[in-house]
Chains A and B, each alone.
Chain A
Amino acid sequence: MAGFILQRLWQALIVIVTMSMLVFAGVYAVGNPIDVLISPDVTQDIRAAIIAQYGFDQPLWRQYLTFAGKLLQGDFGSSFVYNMPVSQLILSRLPATLELTLLAVLFASAVGIPLGMYAGYRPHGKFAKTVMALSILGFSVPSFWFGLMLIMVFAVQCGCMPAGGRGATESLLGIEWSFLTLDGLTHLWLPALNLGLFKFALMIRLARAGTREIMLSDTVKFARAAGLSEYTVLRRHVLRLIAIPLVTVFGLELGSTLAFAVVTETIFSWPGLGKLIIDSITSLDRPVMVAYLMLVAFLFILINLTVDLAYLFLDPRLRKGRA
């Protein structure tokens, strides 16, 4: 078992190092960042001095080694555009993305699971069919298009919701949050709905499939025979049994929510990490791009590693066989 864990850690390490090389080499190939940094009319001397200061005159492999060495100390360098350390910049944008993601996931499960359970409980009813059609739409419609529709209906046609931005924020533990103010909440609502749509469709599907299966099992027959009300059967027995796959998928999907946040944040001009990366790509802000990509890669490797280790504890076959 220790061998298995070590093997997975080793693999994760290889993936991280490979990713850092790929990201560094790839980002280096995009344009020449020096043109962004200095105006074209400076003298050759100043130009050469700045190039030397950033180390752009060094060969690529040496730049990578310097970069990797700093990376190990948690130093991502400074943003060319914002002129502040990248780690600070990312930390300042993180809360906005975090609250957006959490609200989206919360909405998807709080609304999606009951709807899916009902659709599985009465699979042939009209309501169940409507719910399923809704989930098919949720899978097919591209996220950015749904966002545009939300803006058009709620912000342009009815005018009851703001079309973008974060609204007023309130400070908690030294961090600015939108969900603490009423204005912030109205700004948060549409992007969260947009971001949560795919997960919402997914939760409906999973909850429906699980409920259909478990409604046929002996557990439910006995619970009914014991005289429990249908509501109690669903809540106490069915929900508990379908919770395991739901939680697994939920955890895995947290990462992809972060990926889709790029789209949602761009549409609603939500000042989070996704907006930051899009802005830094258009302005060739190299350190920010590298740091973001590394952060995402690291996050995914962490999630996968956690899932693998969790299975290890849940599934005794893995523990014996692969050790």
Chain B
Amino acid sequence: MRHDSPVARFWADFSRSPVAVLAAIVVLVIILLALCAPLVTPQDPYDLANLVLRDARRAPGYVGTGGYSHWLGTDSQGRDLYSAIVYGLRISLQMGVIASGSAFAIGAVVGCAAAYIGGRFEAIVMRIVDLQLSFPAILLAFVIAAVLGQGKYQLILALVFAQYAYFVRTAHGAAAAERQKDYVEAALSIPLSSWHVVTRHILPNAMPPLIVVATVQVASAIALEATLSFLGVGLPPTEPSLGMLIANGFQYLLSGRYWISIYPGVALILFIVSLNLVGDQIRDQLNPRLQR
């Protein structure tokens, strides 16, 4: 019997899968790049003073007017594509984290409340959630984004609306199982207040499945955001995420200038696949049925 801290035990299990470790490193590197975007890029792609039209649509490796090489080429306005991708990742990540974080908070509160209060409230909430889960998330997000129009906050609202039901479902399932357990009854009979029991006892024990859902949902929020921006119902042109970079390059794809669309897409997929692999590994680790 080892007496390591939970974090150390978690890491010991996690590091057993080389694929998951690699994926985690990729995720961390991408997050770091996105956070330090101004420090690691040769130009600010959205400062118009930096853009030279003569540099537009150049192939990867071209040495532009700025005196440095554009390793991933330039887009239709002479933007360094590498810089645009890093800044785009920043926006995509921001959208994914804000949307999933809000959905997480709403889901945890509503799910736990439904499980704790029970009765008619639980029945109505879960019926609404079930109904919503029977619609595909992309369709819901698309409809809301279309109805609200372009904009950062509108898009976040659409993503939250498309995702919160997964969190409610998960939190409710976990919290309902905890609610039945003796330690909750014991805590209530001391008596501790309902608020104390829910926040200090039920919620922490319902956390692991929520964390798993969260990693997967961040990835899906980023993919969803990219899809909506690609379709033109997502972010406005002033907030160019990866999806919009890909959409802008789409028209040049047919004339063989593949890099404008392809490299942002590679960055997007690398990030999504890595996040999913990390999420898969955490899920396997937290699943008691797979424990030795």
A and B physically associate:
yes
Contacts of B250 in A (CB 8 A): 148, 267
Within the assembled complex, what's the spacing in Å between the Cα atoms of A156 and B262? 13
Count A-B contacts at CB 8 Å: 95
Please tell me if A30 contacts chain B, counting CB pairs below 8 Å. Answer: yes
Please tell me if B254 contacts chain A, counting CB pairs below 8 Å. Answer: yes
**Closest 5 pairs between A and B when the two form their complex, measured CB to CB:** A26-B147, A259-B139, A256-B136, A259-B136, A142-B223
Q: Which of A15, A27, A256, A262 contacts B231 (CB 8 A)?
A: A262
Q: Across the two chains, which residue of chain A brings its CB closest to B229?
A: A144
Within the assembled complex, what's the spacing in Å between the Cα atoms of A55 and B230? 34
Please tell me if B232 contacts chain A, counting CB pairs below 8 Å. Answer: yes
Please tell me if B236 contacts chain A, counting CB pairs below 8 Å. Answer: no
Q: Can you identify 6 A-B contacts, CB atoms within 8 angstroms?
A: A26-B148, A30-B149, A144-B231, A152-B262, A163-B254, A262-B142
How many interface residues does A have (CB within 8 Å)? 40
User: Across the interface, do B134 and A156 meet the contact criterion of CB distance under 8 Å?
Assistant: no
Contacts of B276 in A (CB 8 A): 136, 139-140
Contacts of A289 in B (CB 8 A): 146
Please tell me if A203 contacts chain B, counting CB pairs below 8 Å. Answer: no
Main secondary structure of the interface of B (DSSP, over half): helix
Contacts of A304 in B (CB 8 A): 131, 134
User: Across the interface, do A259 and B142 meet the contact criterion of CB distance under 8 Å?
Assistant: yes
**Could you list which residues of chain A lie within 8 angstroms of chain B, going by C-beta atoms?**
15, 23, 26-27, 29-31, 136-137, 139-145, 148, 151-152, 155-156, 163, 252, 255-256, 259-260, 262-263, 266-267, 277-278, 281-282, 289, 293, 296, 300, 304
Please tell me if B210 contacts chain A, counting CB pairs below 8 Å. Answer: no
Size bracket, chain B contacts: 35 or more
User: Across the interface, do A145 and B269 meet the contact criterion of CB distance under 8 Å?
Assistant: yes
User: Across the interface, do A259 and B265 meet the contact criterion of CB distance under 8 Å?
Assistant: no
Main secondary structure of the interface of A (DSSP, over half): helix
Q: Which of B138, B254, B273 contacts A151 (CB 8 A)?
A: B254
Q: Which of B232, B246, B256 contacts A156 (CB 8 A)?
A: B256
Contacts of A277 in B (CB 8 A): 146
Instruction: Please give 13 more A-B residue pairs, beta carbons under 8 A apart, in addition to A27-B147, A255-B135, A277-B146.
Output: A26-B148, A29-B148, A30-B149, A137-B273, A142-B223, A142-B269, A145-B268, A156-B254, A259-B142, A263-B231, A278-B231, A289-B146, A293-B143
Within the assembled complex, what's the spacing in Å between the Cα atoms of A137 and B269? 10
User: Across the interface, do A30 and B147 meet the contact criterion of CB distance under 8 Å?
Assistant: yes
User: Across the interface, do A148 and B149 meet the contact criterion of CB distance under 8 Å?
Assistant: no
Contacts of B62 in A (CB 8 A): none
Contacts of A144 in B (CB 8 A): 226-227, 230-231, 246
Question: In whole Å, how far is B157's beta carbon from the nearest beta carbon of chain A?
Answer: 12
Contacts of A148 in B (CB 8 A): 246, 250, 253, 261-262, 265
Within the assembled complex, what's the spacing in Å between the Cα atoms of A259 and B135? 9
Please tell me if B233 contacts chain A, counting CB pairs below 8 Å. Answer: yes
Question: In whole Å, how far is B52's beta carbon from the nearest beta carbon of chain A?
Answer: 27
Q: Which of B136, B232, B246, B272 contacts A278 (CB 8 A)?
A: B232
Question: In whole Å, how far is A308's beta carbon from the nearest beta carbon of chain B?
Answer: 10
Please indicate which of the listed interface residues A155, A259, A266, A267 has the most CB atoms of chain B within 10 Å of its own CB: A259
Within the assembled complex, what's the spacing in Å between the Cα atoms of A267 and B247? 10
Contacts of B272 in A (CB 8 A): 140-142
User: Across the interface, do B254 and A145 meet the contact criterion of CB distance under 8 Å?
Assistant: no
Please tell me if B14 contacts chain A, counting CB pairs below 8 Å. Answer: no
Q: Across the two chains, which residue of chain B brings its CB closest to A308?
A: B134
User: Across the interface, do B253 and A152 meet the contact criterion of CB distance under 8 Å?
Assistant: yes
Contacts of A136 in B (CB 8 A): 276
Within the assembled complex, what's the spacing in Å between the Cα atoms of A136 and B265? 17
User: Across the interface, do A142 and B139 meet the contact criterion of CB distance under 8 Å?
Assistant: no
Within the assembled complex, what's the spacing in Å between the Cα atoms of A161 and B258? 17
Question: In whole Å, how far is A25's beta carbon from the nearest beta carbon of chain B?
Answer: 9
User: Across the interface, do A145 and B139 meet the contact criterion of CB distance under 8 Å?
Assistant: no
Within the assembled complex, what's the spacing in Å between the Cα atoms of A187 and B62? 36
Q: Across the two chains, which residue of chain B brings its CB closest to A293?
A: B143
Contacts of B134 in A (CB 8 A): 252, 300, 304
Q: Across the two chains, which residue of chain B brings its CB closest to A300?
A: B135
